[in-house]
């Protein structure tokens, strides 16, 4: 099938490469020239495990191209909208300018029978507006809403083998026909038994933000329990293990620590609250305000803990921060708890050195005032406190005995509850963590 993908960021670049790897002919369109040039040369502009290889293989078949020239998409029969919907400056709502621009470009290309597939995370009601716009320009084309649930760091496998496929379909023959076209695009996943939910446009749009809100709530729930644990001397990791054995609760996404960040969960819950307000049902999502507050409080608590272990002040103290990415296996630093804590400590007068296996370049651009080191050894040398804020496997596997030799004072704060306290204490470290005695 000839497919176009509008927007070649995390979502679109992975989607385009994966669709080409399945045998489709794909043209990826983006307005950012460097991004297109980098992808066309087989170099992903961000770190995503497996993507570089997939991209190289797909480009070599000749079935995948990247361009800034939208007219290259004119002979595609399925057009995916994969552009970003970042948070607006100083507002909770999503910035819809990229979705509007991509829609205008796509409607200018439509032919009878074409299918437009929305994948971007949007405020509910957006798809209906896009459908009207399509109807005005090409009544014999159709819109489907097909949200994406990919996690950074697992984007390739999440795209090729998703947990589920959701189709938002308009009533009528056009909608049903379009859904069968999308079945053709996802034939491999459907044949492998991936469950599919066929629903209306509104539900499909809500599924995505509801899923992310639930995940954010789960993380903030366990972080709220961590606050209780701190007040009572209890251990949040054991609490999570114990409640997680209940199959109705489940252990996943119950890791307490410095909280969630990234380009999705924080902005999605905020945009969802903003949309609920517009719809007159803001009370339904008031709890998300608390989810957001709990999450941000963990960053403050982390700085407080650093101050506590330093005896009341971090001014002038040498502190190492392990991790800059918002989570491991990613170079994404958007709303990264690690960098937010590092910057806060720096503002309070500490001498902070940050290291990360992948995200240093991005971090340096965003926070040029922080000091960076390429290796853990360089970052921790002569420091008085080490904060582990992104649980990269290489940090989880650090040898506390060897590391102790390099620091001035052995104090570790485990911001992700990913180290074994007994091993670190046995090696002579003062071990502290969020929600643990
Ligand atoms: C998320 C959703 O998981 C994905 O389905 C959606 O499509 C996009 O948003 P992503 O942002 O890639 O994906 O990261 P995710 O793995 O969900 O982690 C989000 C944040 O939560 C990270 O900062 C992570 O460190 C944090 N987290 C996750 C916790 O603090 N505790 C946990 O138990 C799990």
The pick from 147, 151, 294 for probing ligand 1's pocket by mutation, whose C-beta has the most ligand atoms within 8 angstroms, reads 151
Q: Are 125 and 204 in contact (CB under 8 A)?
A: no
333 C-alpha vs ligand 1 centroid, how far in Å?
13
- Protein residue whose Cα sits closest to atom 6 of ligand 1: 149
Distance between CA 369 and CA 326 in Å, rounded? 19
253 C-alpha vs ligand 1 centroid, how far in Å?
8
Q: Is 360 helix (H, G, I), strand (E, B) or coil?
A: helix
pLDDT confidence bin for 371, thresholds 50/70/90: very high
- Protein residue whose Cα sits closest to atom 26 of ligand 1: 260
Q: Give the tens place of pLDDT for each residue, 71-110.
A: 999 999 999 999 999 999 999 999 999 999 999 999 999 9
Q: Are 31 and 104 in contact (CB under 8 A)?
A: no
Q: Are 352 and 321 in contact (CB under 8 A)?
A: yes
CATH T-level assignment (fold) for domain 234-433: Rossmann fold (3.40.50)
The pick from 152, 216, 264, 395 for probing ligand 1's pocket by mutation, whose C-beta has the most ligand atoms within 8 angstroms, reads 264
Q: Quote the tokens at residue 137.
A: 């320009």
Distance between CA 57 and CA 2 in Å, rounded? 18
Name the residue with tokens 């009370």.
283
Q: Give the tens place of pLDDT for each residue, 38-59.
A: 999 999 999 999 999 999 999 9
215 C-alpha vs ligand 1 centroid, how far in Å?
8
Instruction: Write out the H or E segment, with its range, that includes residue 353.
Output: strand 351-355
pLDDT confidence bin for 301, thresholds 50/70/90: very high
- Protein residue whose Cα sits closest to atom 21 of ligand 1: 260
Distance between CA 392 and CA 400 in Å, rounded? 16
pLDDT at 329: 94
149 C-alpha vs ligand 1 centroid, how far in Å?
11
Centroid of chain to Cα 63: 28
Q: Give the tens place of pLDDT for each residue, 312-346.
A: 999 999 999 999 999 999 999 999 999 999 999 99
pLDDT at 20: 98
Distance between CA 160 and CA 167 in Å, rounded? 16
pLDDT confidence bin for 351, thresholds 50/70/90: very high
Crossing angle of helices 126-137 and 97-107, in 10° steps, is 20
pLDDT confidence bin for 263, thresholds 50/70/90: very high
User: DSSP assignment of 157-173, as one string?
Assistant: HHHHS-S-EEEEE-SSH
pLDDT at 374: 97
Ligand 1 pocket, CB under 6 A:
149-152, 212, 215, 219, 253-255, 257, 259-262, 264-265, 326-327
For residue 151, give the ligand 1 atom closest to its CA: 12
pLDDT at 287: 98
pLDDT confidence bin for 368, thresholds 50/70/90: very high
User: DSSP assignment of 25-50, as one string?
Assistant: EEEEE-S-HHHHHHHHTT--SS--TT
What are the sequence ranges of the domains in the chain? Answer: 2-199, 234-433
Instruction: Write out the H or E segment, with its range, that includes residue 156.
Output: helix 155-160
Burial class, 248, CB count within 10 angstroms (exposed 0-12 / middle 13-18 / buried 19+): exposed
CATH T-level assignment (fold) for domain 2-199: Rossmann fold (3.40.50)
29 C-alpha vs ligand 1 centroid, how far in Å?
27
Q: What is the mean pLDDT of the chain?
A: 97
Fold identical between 2-199 and 234-433? Answer: yes
Distance between CA 252 and CA 219 in Å, rounded? 9
- How many C-beta atoms surround the C-beta of residue 59 within 10 A? 18
Distance between CA 187 and CA 309 in Å, rounded? 56
Share of the chain above pLDDT 70, in %: 100
Q: What is the mean pLDDT of residues 189-212?
A: 98
Q: Give the tens place of pLDDT for each residue, 203-249.
A: 999 999 999 999 999 999 999 999 999 999 999 999 999 999 999 99
Q: Is 140 helix (H, G, I), strand (E, B) or coil?
A: coil
Q: Give the tens place of pLDDT for each residue, 3-39.
A: 999 999 999 999 999 999 999 999 999 999 999 999 9
Q: Quote the tokens at residue 342.
A: 């590092």
- Protein residue whose Cα sits closest to atom 7 of ligand 1: 149
The pick from 260, 297, 359, 391 for probing ligand 1's pocket by mutation, whose C-beta has the most ligand atoms within 8 angstroms, reads 260
Q: What is the mean pLDDT of residues 372-386?
A: 98
For residue 211, give the ligand 1 atom closest to its CA: 5
pLDDT confidence bin for 159, thresholds 50/70/90: very high
Query: Which residues touch 194 (CB under 8 Å, ≥6 apart)?
Result: 161, 162, 163, 164, 165, 186
Which residues are tagged catalytic? 264
Q: What are phi and psi of 169, to 5 degrees?
A: -125, 135
265 C-alpha vs ligand 1 centroid, how far in Å?
7
């Amino acid at each position: 099938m000839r497919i176009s993908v509008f927007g070649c960021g995390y979502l679109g670049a992975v989607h385009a490469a994966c669709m080409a790897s399945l045998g489709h002919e794909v043209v990826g369109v983006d307005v950012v020239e460097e991004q297109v040039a980098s992808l066309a040369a087989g170099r992903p502009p961000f770190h995503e495990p497996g993507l570089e290889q997939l991209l190289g293989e797909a480009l070599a078949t000749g079935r995948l191209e990247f361009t800034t020239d939208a007219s290259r998409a004119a002979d595609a029969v399925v057009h995916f909208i994969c552009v970003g919907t970042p948070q607006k400056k100083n507002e909770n709502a999503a910035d819809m300018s990229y979705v509007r621009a991509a829609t205008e470009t796509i409607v200018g290309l439509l032919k009878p029978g074409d299918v437009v597939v929305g994948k971007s995370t949007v405020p509910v009601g957006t798809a209906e507006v896009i459908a009207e716009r399509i109807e005005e320009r090409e009544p014999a084309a159709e819109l489907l809403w097909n949200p994406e649930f990919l996690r950074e760091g697992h984007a390739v496998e999440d795209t090729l083998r998703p947990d589920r496929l959701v189709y938002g379909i308009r009533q009528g023959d056009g909608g049903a026909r379009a859904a069968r076209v999308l079945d053709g695009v996802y034939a491999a996943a459907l044949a492998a038994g991936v469950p599919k939910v066929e629903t209306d446009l509104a539900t499909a749009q809500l599924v995505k933000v509801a899923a992310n809100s639930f995940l954010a709530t789960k993380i903030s729930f366990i972080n709220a329990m961590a606050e209780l644990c701190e007040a009572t001397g209890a251990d949040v990791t054991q609490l999570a293990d114990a409640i997680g054995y209940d199959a109705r609760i489940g252990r996943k996404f119950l890791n307490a620590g410095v909280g969630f960040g990234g380009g999705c969960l924080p902005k999605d819950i905020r945009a969802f609250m903003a949309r609920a307000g517009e719809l007159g049902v803001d009370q339904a999502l008031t709890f998300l305000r608390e989810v957001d507050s709990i999450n941000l409080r963990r960053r403050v608590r982390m700085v407080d803990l650093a101050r506590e272990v330093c005896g009341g002040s971090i001014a002038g103290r040498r502190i190492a921060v392990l991790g800059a990415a918002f989570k491991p296996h990613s170079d994404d630093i958007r709303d990264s708890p690690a960098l937010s804590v590092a910057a806060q400590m720096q503002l309070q007068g500490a001498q902070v050195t940050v290291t990360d296996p992948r995200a240093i370049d991005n971090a340096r651009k965003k926070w040029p005032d922080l000091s960076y080191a390429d290796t853990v050894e360089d970052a921790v040398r002569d420091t008085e406190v080490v904060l582990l804020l992104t649980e990269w496997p290489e940090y989880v596997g650090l040898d506390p005995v060897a590391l102790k030799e390099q620091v001035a004072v052995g104090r570790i704060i485990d911001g992700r509850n990913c180290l074994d306290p007994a091993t670190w204490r046995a090696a002579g470290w003062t071990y502290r963590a969020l929600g643990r005695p």
